[in-house]
Structure 1
Amino acid sequence: MSNGKIFISYRREDTSGESGRLKDKLEQVFGQENIFYDVETLEAGLNFDESIAKALGESKVLLAMIGPHWLKVSDSKGVLRIQKPDDWVRKEISEALRRNLRVIPVLVNGAEMPDQTELPEDLKELSLKHAQELSSSRWNYDVGELTKVLEKIIAKIPEPKPQPQPNPRPFSPPVAKPKSWWAKNYLWLLGGFVVFIGLVGLCSNPETETYPIDDSGNVATDFLDEDTAMASGTVGEPDFEENRNQGSEQYEFDLAGEWSLYLNGQKVSILMMSQEGVNLAYYEYNLLNQKTAEGNGQVDGQYLAMDYYGATGVNGTISMSTNNSGQTWVGTIYFPATAVTAELKLTR
């Protein structure tokens, strides 16, 4: 396969835009020097007839761009240009046929192949050529099919070889970051919480616990739960039920221990809770045992409210309630710009 040019023949009134677009695409494959396009290729002052003949002598392929108006374009007197012997499109195609160049009709935007009866004598052979279609709706595919045909005739320009990168940077393994104080000491902190919880349990032993005395010298049953009141003998079951129904009894829950925090049903962290009376304190750890937040608050019967101080500086509040004796607490974590539905489940 030797070098040669691709000659693009077209009518400005018919396929000027498509021809220029095709020229740009073919230059990327075969090089600018191998595409003849009269508007840009001919130099000013040259004889047009001689320049066309010279370009055809250097070409191996002529693309005859035929649009919907290719046969219908006429001069100022109404004579069809294709029927005039001095028409340049007619002269280009007839000269290419005479030189036995590969002439490929390119039907643009739904144009049909001209019939022999519509063509002058020197162009009748054009109607016998196999055509390639070219439409705007599938431009890239049609140009690709035409390019495959041309690659069998005209040599492509060589693709540039990739250049090696000078002085590539040597690989440096990532340096491990030192563990934070919390990552190194969270086991000691966890052990301290366990000891603290044990001490709280000993201090709240019912056998040694004292109860306040009312004005009559009896134990004040307002501060006793049901089991303790019955065991002390200070109140019977009917009286306890009456106080409960009247809403005078406040149910206190022991929240000390490990709680799993769920957001939208997915476990995201662990809260280590400590409790002293109605006062609560906690540390939050993510699933990698890294401290992420801390806070404190209070439990008031079936409701708890706590502050949230994030390690990254994001603060908020936690508001929850329980309806299953303190085994699960459900509520919302409020941040300055949003609120998240949350759930605490006992895991200790």
Structure 2
Amino acid sequence: MQQSLILEFSIVLVILIGLFIFLWKKKLFSKIRKKSSLPSKESELNTKQSTKLIHKTSSEEKSKVILKIFLSYRRDDSSDITGRIYDRLVQHFGDGNIFKDVDSIPLGADFRDHLDSAVSKCHFFLAIVGPDWLYARDDDSTSYLNNPSDFVRIELESALKRDIPVIPILVRKATMPLGNTLPESLKPFIYRNGISIRPDPDFHNDMDRLMRAIEHHLPKNNL
């Protein structure tokens, strides 16, 4: 009788021990699984760094696009709206792809050659034409465009002699000049198809049209 009780007690004890071990292992496995599902600080750091790298790469890729745009404008005529146009182009195509102001011309250098060289590096030439672009005059009442040394004239002449798109950008309700109002070297300009960039609320829609037109000229692998 005593041996039977001992045997039953032993069986119950073994069952309890087995149950305890089973529950202990289950609890331990649950902790391990929960811990492995949580990202470590190192993993989070790597993820953040990867995200930053992606954004940085995306930003750098804009400046690697094979595209250079030259903005020609007359400061007294359209400097403020040209600044807005420049900002939108930079935002879309990247800072390194847009030329708005030619760097300081070195002392002793021929400024005509310097301007011509700057234009020669560009794939698109945007001529910002405001209401005073044609009629701006110097102190002697001579039209700037009739002066062969005028920077805007030199830039436009340089662009017209090259096989690149020359796009008139009409601002402040300006219209295209007539052929008889331009020097002979600039007359081909009147045949270039242009676009009006209007003030708000139409500014951004007009800029979108301009940028789509520029992208149309680019190879697909550059977009």
Normalising by the smaller structure, the TM-score range is: 0.5 to 0.7
Secondary structure, in 3 states, of the residue corresponding to 1:72? coil
CA contact (8 A) 2:112 2:154 kept: no
Matching residue of 2:137? 74
- Amino acid paired to 1:91: I
Q: Is contact 2:167–2:193 with CA below 8 Å preserved after alignment? A: yes
8 A Cα contact 1:3 1:155, kept in partner: no
The answer to whether 1:42 aligns with 2:103 is: yes
Q: Secondary structure at the match of 2:123?
A: strand
Separation (CA, whole Å) in 2 of partners of 1:103 and 1:26? 16
Once the two structures are superposed, the pairs formed by residues 52-71 of structure 1 within 5 Å of their partners are 52-71=115-134
Change in Cα spacing, 1:77 to 1:36, as seen in structure 2 (3 Å) is: same
3-state SS of 1:133 partner: strand
SS at structure 2 position matched to 1:42: coil
Q: What do the CA deviations read for 1:38-74 (whole angstroms, capped 9, x no partner)?
A: 1xx5146464433322221211110010001111100
CA distance in structure 1 between the aligned counterparts of 2:222 and 2:91, rounded to whole angstroms: 11
- In structure 2, the partner of 1:87 is 150
Residues 1:50 and 1:142: Cα distance change in structure 2 (over 3 Å): same
Aligned pair 1:11/2:67, yes or no?
A: no
1:15, 1:65 within 8 Å by CA — same for their partners in 2? yes
Q: Determine the structure 2 residue equivalent to 1:109.
A: 172
The one-letter amino acid paired with 2:197 is: L
1:151 Cα deviation (Å)?
1.2
Matched, 1:136 2:222: no
Q: Which residue of 1 aligns with 2:187?
A: 124
> Which residue of the partner structure matches residue 149 of structure 1?
213
Change (3 A) 1:19 1:69: same
Q: 1:57 to 1:20 in 2, by over 3 A?
A: same
- Cα contact 2:166–2:192 (8 A) shared by 1: yes
- Alignment check: 8 A CA contact 1:31 1:157 kept: no
In 2, distance between residues paired with 1:155 and 1:28? 20
Equivalent residue letter for 1:142:
D
What is the rounded CA distance, in whole Å, between the counterparts of 1:65 and 1:150 in structure 2?
Answer: 15
Q: Find the partner of 2:114 among 51, 54, 60.
A: 51
Question: Highest CA radius of gyration, 1 or 2?
Answer: 1
Structure 1 stretches lacking a partner, 5+ long? 160-348
Please give the per-residue CA displacement for 1:130-151, whole angstroms capped at 9, x wherever unaligned: 1100111311111111011111
The CA distance in 2 between the partners of 1:65 and 1:155, in whole Å, is: 25
Could you say what the CA RMSD is over the residues aligned between the two structures, in angstroms? 2.3
Q: Percent identity?
A: 35
Question: Does the CA contact (< 8 Å) of 1:29 and 1:157 recur in 2?
Answer: no
| C-alpha contact (below 8 Å) 2:71/2:100 kept by paired residues | yes
CA distance in 2, matches of 1:156, 1:77: 50
Distance 2:99 2:221 in 1: 16
Q: Which protein has the bigger helix share?
A: 2
Contact 2:66 2:222 in 1 (8 A): no
Q: Using a 3 Å threshold, how does the CA distance of structure 1 residues 67 and 155 change in structure 2: closer, same or farther? A: farther
Distance 1:76 1:130 in 2: 32
Task: Name the counterpart of 1:30.
Answer: 93
Q: Note if contact 1:30-1:156 (Cα within 8 Å) is conserved in structure 2.
A: no
Secondary structure of 1:91 counterpart: helix
Change (3 A) 1:118 1:32: same
Q: Which has the higher contact order (CA 8 A, sep 6+)?
A: 2
Quick one: which amino acid aligns to residue 198 of structure 2? S
Task: For structure 2, list consecutive stretches of 5 or more residues without a partner in the other structure.
Answer: 1-64
TM-score by length of 2: 0.65
1:128: how far off?
0.6
Aligned AA for 1:116? G
> What is the letter of the counterpart of residue 152 of structure 2?
V
